[in-house]
Every structure is written in structure tokens, then in C-alpha cells.
Amino acid sequence: METTCIPPQVDETRCTLCGLCVEACRCHAVELGERGPVFDCHKACPVPGAYDCWCLCEEVCPTGAITCTFEIVAENGA
């Protein structure tokens, strides 16, 4: 089984632009934009399955503005 990452969803109305998500991302895939974090995880995460770091941005967000979603894909014949 493979886990596929979907870029985190951001509720810009809850984001305070604190930058904790930027600091928490081990892949350096988050930049702080004018209205909230901007994610470029597919380019920045060099390791397939490096989705752990997406959980960190969600965990450190003090307002709950970031929601991470994962999709589990079964291989053929599994």
C-alpha cells in the first residue's frame, strides 16, 4: 500500500501568519504568503512518502488553519 499526499488545505480566515508551519516543515516546502502558507510539497519533498512533515505543520498551527489529508492507494493485486 502506498500513501499519497494531497497538499494541505488552509483556512485563510483562521491563519494569523505566525510562520510556525514554515519552521516546522522538514522539507522546506512551505513559504509564508500574504494570506497564509503556500505549499510546494511535491517539488520540495525529495523522498517518496515524506508525508510525515505535512502532519507537523498541521500540529503546530495554533489556530487550526491547516488541515492535512492523505489518500491510501492499494497496489494492484493487494
Domain map of the chain by residue range?
Answer: 2-73
Residue 69 CA: distances (Å) to CA of 12, 52, 58, 76: 17, 11, 10, 22
* pTM reported for the whole predicted model: 0.74
- Can you say whether residue 49 is alpha, beta or left, with left for phi > 0 and alpha for psi between -120 and 50 degrees? left
Answer yes or no: are the C-beta atoms of 25 and 57 closer than 8 Å: yes
CATH code for the domain defined by 2-73: 3.30.70.20
pLDDT score, position 1: 46
Task: Quickly list DSSP for 7-18.
Answer: EEEE-TTT----
Q: pLDDT tens track of the chain, all 78 residues? A: 445 567 789 999 999 999 999 999 888 889 999 999 998 877 766 655 555 555 789 999 999 999 987 666 667 755
